[in-house]
Amino acid sequence: MQFTIKSIDDWQEIVDKIVPELKHNILLLKGNLGAGKTTFTQFLMKKLGSGDEVSSPTYSIVNEYSTPQGKVFHFDLYRLKNIDEVYDIGIEEYLDNAFLCIIEWPEVYEDDLYGLKFHEMSIINTGEEREISFD
C-alpha cells in the first residue's frame, strides 16, 4: 500500500486503512529522524483504543501501552549498537507476549527476524509531504 500525506491530520486516514491489514504482531517502522514514526504510533494507539500517552521510546528503548486487544510494545532501537544489545533488552520475550510490537529503527535487528512474519512501514519526509509504503 502506498500513501502520500501533507498534514498531520492525514495520519488518521492512513491508520484507518492500515489497522484492518495488520495480520502479524510485528510492525517495523523505518524513516529518517522527524519522519513521523512516533506520530503514526500515536494515531495507531488511539485507533486501537489505548488511552495511554504515547511518546518516543528514544531513551527508554521500549514503551508499553495497553489496548483492549492486549499489550503493545513500542521500541526505538536507534541507540543500540549491535544485536547483542537488542537481545539484552529481552526483545524475544516482548515479541512472545505482545498483541503488537512496533519497532522503530529496526535495522540492527532485522536480520534476526528471518522466518518471522512482520509488516514493514517506510516513511519518507520529502519536506512538504510524507511518502508512506506499508507491506
Model confidence pLDDT, tens digit, residues 19-40: 999 999 999 999 988 888 999 9
Percent of the chain with pLDDT over 90: 82
pLDDT at 76 over 90: yes
Sorted by sequence, the CB contacts under 8 Å of residue 2 that are 6+ apart come out as 131, 132, 133, 134
Cell 513500542 belongs to: 74
Burial degree of 59 (CB within 10 A; 0-12, 13-18, 19+)? exposed
Positive or negative, the CA dihedral 81, 84, 89, 93 is positive
Distances (CA, A) of 40 to 18, 84, 119, 121, 134: 11, 28, 14, 10, 12
Query: What's the confidence (pLDDT) of residue 108?
Result: 92
pTM score of the predicted model:
0.92
* Mean pLDDT value across the chain: 93
